[in-house]
Amino acid sequence: MDKNAILNDKVMPFPLLDIVMRIIKADPWWRSMNMDEVNEFLRRPLLLRLAFMDRDLYPIVHPLWFIYKEGIFYLETHKASKKARLLRDDGRVYFLVDEVVDGKPRGVRGKGNALIIDDAELAREIMVEQVIKYLGSADKQLSRRLIDSSKDNVVVKVEPLAFATWIA
């Protein structure tokens, strides 16, 4: 498969993934981000809102720390959490990362598929990356506590199907 992204029906280079990533203009008032802008935006310490369905088919939305690498979102959660149980049963998700700075909105949203990975070592690695991204250091007391607690966590790997983006 061609390693390109489609931006408003134009093919854009996307060398890191073995998929075609479609970027959709999310809002008629703002322009779409290109892949470089998406990658830069998702490296920032923003929250990802992950939406999925409970067993009664009511939506649940969780704000989460995340790591974004090579077109994939990595999250972690306790292995016995409701989130982990539900995503094991049905990995269909919707995600949103956005912000407004000085009245100028920008964001990335889309559908994806979540996979639970039972790997405590990988969960610890993701937690270390997250505490550095969100707290600035792995040496703070809170950072160490979060890293220590990750031994009981699993990784949630979210593979986006497409990105809808906007930037003022």
pLDDT in tens, 99-146: 999 999 999 999 999 999 999 999 999 999 999 999 999 999 988 998
Answer whether residue 157 is part of any domain.
yes
User: For the chain, how far is it from start to end, CA to CA, in angstroms?
Assistant: 33
* pLDDT surpassing 80 at residue 11: no
CATH number of the domain that 68 lies in?
Answer: 2.30.110.10
Answer whether residue 5 is part of any domain.
no
Give the span between the Cα atoms of 30 and 38, in whole angstroms. 15
Answer whether residue 36 is part of any domain.
no
Answer whether residue 83 is part of any domain.
yes
Answer whether residue 166 is part of any domain.
no
Answer whether residue 131 is part of any domain.
yes
Answer whether residue 22 is part of any domain.
no
Give the span between the Cα atoms of 98 and 41, in whole angstroms. 9
SS (H, E, C) the chain: CCCEEEECCEEEECCCCCCCEEEEECCCCCECCCHHHHHHHHCCCCCEEEEEECCCCCEEEEEECCEEECCEEEEEEECCCHHHHHHHHCCEEEEEEEEEECCEEEEEEEEEEEEEECCHHHHHHHHHHHHHHHHCCCCCHHHHHHHHHHHHEEEEEEEECEEEEEEC
* pLDDT surpassing 90 at residue 6: no
Domain total of the chain:
1
**Residue among 9, 2, 24 at smallest CA distance from 162:** 24
pLDDT of residue 92: 97
Which domain, by its residues, includes 155?
A: 45-161
Answer whether residue 2 is part of any domain.
no
pLDDT band at 2 (very low <50, low <70, confident <90, very high): very low
What is the average per-residue pLDDT within 6-16?
Answer: 39
Q: What is the pTM of this model?
A: 0.84
